[in-house]
Amino acid sequence: MSDMTTIARPYAKAAFDLAVEKGELGPWAEMLSFAAEVTRDETIQDILDSGYAADKLTEIFLTVCGEQLNEFGQNLIKVMAENGRLKALPAVCDEFMVLKSDHDKTIQATVTSAIALDDTQLETISTKLEARLERKVKLNCSVDETLIAGVVIRAGDLVIDNSVRGKLDRLSDTLQS
């Protein structure tokens, strides 16, 4: 996957710079998300693996995408097809979203808890994370009963494990060392 990230980064950066210049971050995010989903389709995957010429791949891809891509999005598809990089579109989309989040000063945080959290608890977590990370935080919540109690919060590289399961694991590691 790191290879795809390396391939995707320059395309994502170019698309991001153009989107900022044109003031179209939202539309570009939608275009790239749509194109990435098209790339994930099994039929399109077979076509990308078939060895068609770049102009034929571009034509097929743009026909499938229809009017979902503006002229600049179509140009991106053409350039990526010419370079044999259409399979990297999902990674381009991911890299673009990272750049967009940095630009918008937002971050996605995953909150895993032993039980469903109420709105007050979620608001407290969100407020404290925003203060700590100096960004707007969007929470994605899930329940994992194996945690026993507490929460595990992941936001970018930050991991806060305040679960009983995590504390027991750390205690076990300490006792074994």
Same domain, 138 and 151: yes
Same domain, 11 and 98: yes
Locate 33 and state its tokens.
């998300």
Work out the average pLDDT over 30-57. Answer: 86
Judge whether residue 42 has pLDDT over 50.
yes
CATH number for position 15: 1.10.520.20
Same domain, 23 and 79: yes
Work out the average pLDDT over 89-116. Answer: 87
Judge whether residue 23 has pLDDT over 90.
no
The total domain count for the chain is 2
CA distance 29 to 138: 17
Judge whether residue 3 has pLDDT over 80.
no
Same domain, 96 and 19: yes
- Residue for token digits 């579109």? 89
Domain containing 20: what range? 2-102
CA distance 14 to 108: 23
CA distance 58 to 71: 13
43-72 burial, b if ≥16 CB within 10 A, otherwise e? Answer: ebeebbeeeeeeeebbebbbebbeebbeeb
87: closest CA among 29, 53, 59, 47? Answer: 47
Same domain, 98 and 120: no
pLDDT for residue 1: 46
- Containing H/E element for 85? none
Domain stops at, among 60, 76, 102: 102
Same domain, 94 and 147: no
Give me the amino acid identity at 107: I
Give me the amino acid identity at 115: I
Same domain, 112 and 78: no
Same domain, 12 and 87: yes
Q: What is the pLDDT of residues 129-166, one digit of tens each?
A: 899 988 888 888 999 888 888 899 998 788 888 888 88
Give me the amino acid identity at 92: V
In the chain, the percentage of residues whose pLDDT exceeds 90 is 19
Same domain, 117 and 165: yes
Distance of alpha carbon 136 from the chain centroid: 16
Same domain, 31 and 76: yes
DSSP states of 38-84: HHHSHHHHHHHHTT--HHHHHHHHHHHHGGGS-HHHHHHHHHHHHTT
Domain stops at, among 76, 102, 128: 102
Tell me if 86 sits within 8 A of 76, measured CB to CB: no
- Quote the mean pLDDT of the chain: 87
Same domain, 23 and 73: yes
CA distance 150 to 168: 12
Query: Rounded to two decimals, what is the model's pTM?
Result: 0.66
Same domain, 12 and 98: yes
